[in-house]
Structure 1
């Protein structure tokens, strides 16, 4: 395991001025590097938030542009349909006009029928007069004219019936002619408003109203099309700008990560030099605690309380009804049993220490400090801050910690405390091995 240099075990009062100066310089460098790391971590987190916000805004603008584009297509379709409707109305008007002309022809034919019926009536009337005269003459003839009288009576009756039928035809034709003429007037009327006021509507008025409605729809669709096209162009431009801003922010975030990594390297170099720095007590305690955790895990396997397969179980099962989601692994009960005896004392190392946890290679934390292992309630934000055990944490800092194989790794990061609250901290981790197999890491988080 990790061993510190002799300087860490020498008396605080040093006689050798050069060595004291070196310790002071290295300590100053480590402190300055820590300050740089703190600012870099804070700036990195803020830029990351801005980049995420810009990314979401870009996605929103893209979705909005898609909706507007769909509106443009819909208005184009409306415009196309209204053009077809206009053609249909024109054809309907021509058809109605042809019907009007046909109706006029019918009225002409009805006039001819009326004339013929009138002529038949006149003939029937004359026939009745002739039959009457014949009947009178037959009566004068006496017995010799009896047969002739019968025929004359029959002719007179027939003429009466014909006259009656002709008059009925005349009456019907007259009524029909009036109705058809009114219909023809409606169909061919050009004074739609006057007809509409007088009769409650005309074919021409109806067709004209449809034409005006279709024209209004076409005009509105064209107006919408122009408006949507303009907005679409603006939104597309904004979307490109926001996407460019998000990309620039991501690039800036990567550059701040470079500063952060440099500051962390300086701190590690200072710690590894053997010169005591402000981080040395935390490193010593973490290394000792990591050694004790490995002993406890291996002891549990040796005693049969869990197997190696259980210790490296990666089938984390969801705990129903939890928000944020919590999980159980086969090694979780054993960790809950033995780890608090190591993790809780680390909190008393210094008021600066905020947490101490052991995470497996997936970023899963089975056991947290008691103050962060409260039963979940109904508020997810409260749970986020107070029920942090049995959960996964897989950010940049967490992944670096659980994948580290060096004696220790000291990082600076912005910790999400839940509810939009963040704290810039140091994350000190040491790797954990179980029977020679890498299991995860012990992480200790403390403030500047």
Structure 2
């Protein structure tokens, strides 16, 4: 920033018409100035409350925005759930139909298996009967063979006896031979029957075993089919229950979807209303900021009129001490304790691990050493004084009271309130104080104490000039007096008799004051 040379001047103005102000007029002007001061406090307090409401509304807007997005996500998710439930309902219905068809097919298969079991059972019974009959035939053939063997022996014996009998038994011999031949044929026939029956009986036996195995397999198949059929029946029943429940879920989901749509629409309307309120509060905050700025100008002009108010002693002390600091700085320059470049250094070096961030410059140590005691004396000047500090023209607060210059703790909220030195205060109030070139500047503002805590304050500042160059300002913050305290202070300040006259250069300030008051 360019260093601006200070050209202090005065104007030789006089009161309107060259007349002195009467005591009553002076009292009215004093009450007006005090009223302006009170109005300034009320405007700042109102701005504080509106800003707090606006901050809360802003938070609510963000919450409503998140809630609106969440409702939208819920609506979309519920629609997806409704679609999934409808799809699941269709799937369960299809599954139930397939289960019913499978059960019908299983019932038909079970009937066929039962028929097969019955057929195999009948066949097995017939084979057993055939086996028994064939065994009976075998036994008969065996008896025939036995009888034929015996007949053959008898025919052989008869032949022998006929040969012994001689010629007279020739006919008997012929008969015996014929019986023997017949017996041999019977033996051969019996043997042939046995030869034929044996493999047939073996085949029937094998076939009977196969049919018995087939019957047992069919019975196992029937049991398995019965189990499957029972499982299908239970599955079909469960599917029917599931179908009803999924359909109920789908119906409920559609109902919820309708309600969520209504809720989302209502929430969106509510969000838009809150957002509109936030915009209106933002506009109101801006209007109050403008009003606060105008009120501060009124307070400043009322102080310039020369009327004694509760602010006058502090303003006078700030102007006097700013001049003392300027003399100390110039003496140090002349003594070579610090150079002009060091005193006006703008290369602010950040101090690591500080939050809020603190900085150092080439003049910080010098200023700390030079003005610290003077700043501490301010705390004893008046019980209403809260702090005293010096800032350069960029709002860099190099030196503060010791109670506000504690080592950082690492807790941002605590450090905001207790580590206020070596920091930038370039808010509207701070930068106005740092750059003002008026004899003094009187402002009303909110002091940020950290953690969302603010204090209603008045700020009196006066510029510091070194070698004709604007270095910065002395700032003193003090708490506004209560009405009773202010009345008591006015009683102590009020003279018993003395006609009050305006200062020679107060007409211009009074005219500017009238111009500012004209809109109201």
Contact 2:100–2:236 (8 Å) recurs in 1:
no
Aligned partner of 1:13 in structure 2 is: none
User: Which of these residues, 52, 68, 75, is aligned with residue 49 of structure 1?
Assistant: 52
User: Which of these residues, 200, 210, 235, is aligned with residue 155 of structure 1?
Assistant: 200
Post-superposition offset of 1:94: 1.3
Post-superposition offset of 1:88: 0.4
Instruction: Tell me, in whole angstroms, the C-alpha distance in 2 between the residues paired with 1:87 and 1:41.
Output: 67
State the SS of the aligned residue for 2:399.
Answer: coil
User: Which of these residues, 317, 320, 323, is aligned with residue 351 of structure 2?
Assistant: 317
Post-superposition offset of 1:422: 4.3
Post-superposition offset of 1:292: 4.7
The structure with the largest alpha-carbon Rg is 2
User: Which of these residues, 411, 423, 443, is aligned with residue 411 of structure 1?
Assistant: 443
The 10-residue stretch of structure 1 (311-320 or 427-436) with the greater mean CA deviation from structure 2: 427-436
Post-superposition offset of 1:444: 1.4
Aligned partner of 1:263 in structure 2 is: 295
The 10-residue stretch of structure 1 (53-62 or 272-281) with the greater mean CA deviation from structure 2: 272-281
1:114-172 per-residue CA deviation (whole Å, 9 max, x = no partner) reads 34423532453354245324533553144665465244222212211211221232233
Q: Structure 1 residues 411, 147: closer, same or farther in 2, change over 3 A?
A: same
Post-superposition offset of 1:227: 3.4
1:178-224 per-residue CA deviation (whole Å, 9 max, x = no partner) reads 4424543653x5xxxxxxxxxxxx11221012112212322332343
The answer on 1:388 being equivalent to 2:420 is yes
Q: Structure 1 residues 220, 186: closer, same or farther in 2, change over 3 A?
A: same
1:232-265 per-residue CA deviation (whole Å, 9 max, x = no partner) reads 3333333233223232223233333333223322
Aligned partner of 1:447 in structure 2 is: 479
Paired residue total:
424
The answer on 1:34 being equivalent to 2:50 is no
Aligned partner of 2:116 in structure 1 is: 113
Aligned partner of 1:10 in structure 2 is: none
Post-superposition offset of 1:86: 0.5
Counterpart mapping for 1:63-82 below 5 A? 63-82=66-85
Q: Structure 1 residues 439, 210: closer, same or farther in 2, change over 3 A?
A: farther
Task: Note the residue ranges of structure 1 that are not aligned, 5 or more in a row.
Answer: 8-15, 190-201
Aligned partner of 2:160 in structure 1 is: none
1:380-418 per-residue CA deviation (whole Å, 9 max, x = no partner) reads 665544443344444432243334454432211233445
Instruction: Tell me, in whole angstroms, the C-alpha distance in 2 between the residues paired with 1:434 and 1:147.
Output: 153
Aligned partner of 2:486 in structure 1 is: none
Instruction: Tell me, in whole angstroms, the C-alpha distance in 2 between the residues paired with 1:148 and 1:437.
Output: 150
Instruction: Tell me, in whole angstroms, the C-alpha distance in 2 between the residues paired with 1:433 and 1:234.
Output: 62
Give the TM-score of the pair, scaled to structure 2.
0.70
Q: Structure 1 residues 389, 216: closer, same or farther in 2, change over 3 A?
A: farther
Instruction: Tell me, in whole angstroms, the C-alpha distance in 1 between the residues paired with 2:91 and 2:469.
Output: 82
The answer on 1:247 being equivalent to 2:267 is no
Indicate the structure whose relative CO is greater, using CA pairs within 8 Å and at least 6 residues apart.
2
User: Which of these residues, 172, 187, 193, is aligned with residue 217 of structure 2?
Assistant: 172
Instruction: Tell me, in whole angstroms, the C-alpha distance in 2 between the residues paired with 1:204 and 1:178.
Output: 19
State the SS of the aligned residue for 1:311.
Answer: coil
Q: Structure 1 residues 348, 169: closer, same or farther in 2, change over 3 A?
A: same
The 10-residue stretch of structure 1 (59-68 or 350-359) with the greater mean CA deviation from structure 2: 350-359
Contact 2:356–2:416 (8 Å) recurs in 1:
no
Aligned partner of 1:197 in structure 2 is: none
Instruction: Tell me, in whole angstroms, the C-alpha distance in 2 between the residues paired with 1:300 and 1:77.
Output: 78
Contact 1:319–1:328 (8 Å) recurs in 2:
no
Aligned partner of 2:457 in structure 1 is: 425
1:73-97 per-residue CA deviation (whole Å, 9 max, x = no partner) reads 1111110100000110111111112
Contact 2:92–2:242 (8 Å) recurs in 1:
yes
Aligned partner of 1:12 in structure 2 is: none
The 10-residue stretch of structure 1 (432-441 or 327-336) with the greater mean CA deviation from structure 2: 432-441
User: Which of these residues, 430, 433, 445, is aligned with residue 401 of structure 1?
Assistant: 433
